[in-house]
Chain A
């Protein structure tokens, strides 16, 4: 195993400047169409070689378990690891504020163009495809659980409660999360 290599990620710290951190997360954000997970791996593991595949998987697993946008959490954790609070702030800004500044003019364009029937009609098509993309993403995420009845039951309950019955998210989470964590706890011990 690669325990020694993963043991001290701070050994890399001096080679990654705050500016490089900012640029990396801006690059991830601006490359991301339809989800930033794939691009964060591509930039951090393949292009920059700041993380091994295994380190990335570890870090992302943790960021998925925490609330909040997963790759935003990744920017916070990676930034903190290398430059503390300043690193977190810089990675956060690169990942969120840069795309905001770049895409806001696009939204303005829409808010004027939104009155044009062609734009509205074309967007209706994009919306139909985008929901298909989202359903496919959900199915891809569910595939690893196909032999895990308890996990499938929890996923199905969340889907029906929120997606079909339109119950408030907080109520559904409040009811299901303790059950699901308890089930996972019993399986582990």
Chain B
């Protein structure tokens, strides 16, 4: 039953691997568009829940894609989704590992690196905006998002503290 879905996951994620400048977060909006809007595999709220779970769990951010894979096609989906998003870019990284060191001072290399960086900054912010729209269904939730953003910018508490505090607020029925 799963073969078709696993193949679809690979076809969605593997090309994104090669354009994920800025990391998995940069392609999260596109993954959201595909799995929620195009395929309808989960709702907006479920997608936001999975992202929140990935934030709360230890591990690199890219693990969120294995959570999405799990939701779509179980344990095989988790593994296939993670590999589909990471293997193509890793093969490219391996191929460039030697070349990049050889062309360390080449002007074209500096232009590519400098040019792509602000693009990835904009995409991280775009992911934040999309998740805010998906996660925040009340004024209080928007307030938690804004307060978290401000406090993280101003102070150096462990981010988990904010996630735990917000979970407690929500469980108490305030969001």
A residues near B, CB below 8 A? 29-36, 61-73, 76-77, 80-81, 85, 88, 92, 95-96, 99-100, 102-104, 106-108, 110-111, 114, 118, 120-142, 145, 148, 150-152, 154-159, 161-164, 166, 168-170, 173, 176-177, 180-185, 187-189
Contact = CB atoms under 8 A, between A and B. Distances in A.
Interface in B1-56: 15-27, 29-30, 33, 45, 48-49, 51-53, 55-56
A134 B29 contact: no
B175 A128 contact: yes
Interface residues on B, range: 35 or more
Contacts of B52: 123-124, 126-127, 130
Contacts of A92: 86, 90
Contacts of A114: 49
A162 B26 CA distance: 10
A32 B89 contact: no
B118 A151 contact: yes
Contacts of A136: 148-150, 152-153
A60 B19 CA distance: 18
Nearest to A187: B114
Given A126-B163, A154-B118, A181-B111, A103 B55 contact: no
B19 to A, nearest CB: 6
7 contacts: A32-B59, A68-B89, A107-B70, A139-B153, A155-B122, A184-B110, A188-B114
A70 B59 CA distance: 13
B167 to A, nearest CB: 4
Contacts of A76: 90, 93-94, 97
B111 to A, nearest CB: 4
Contact of A169 (B27, B124, B153): B27
Contact of B20 (A30, A62, A68, A108): A68
A129 B144 contact: yes
A141 to B, nearest CB: 5
Contact of A66 (B53, B58, B96, B129): B96
A77 B58 contact: no
B125 A135 contact: yes
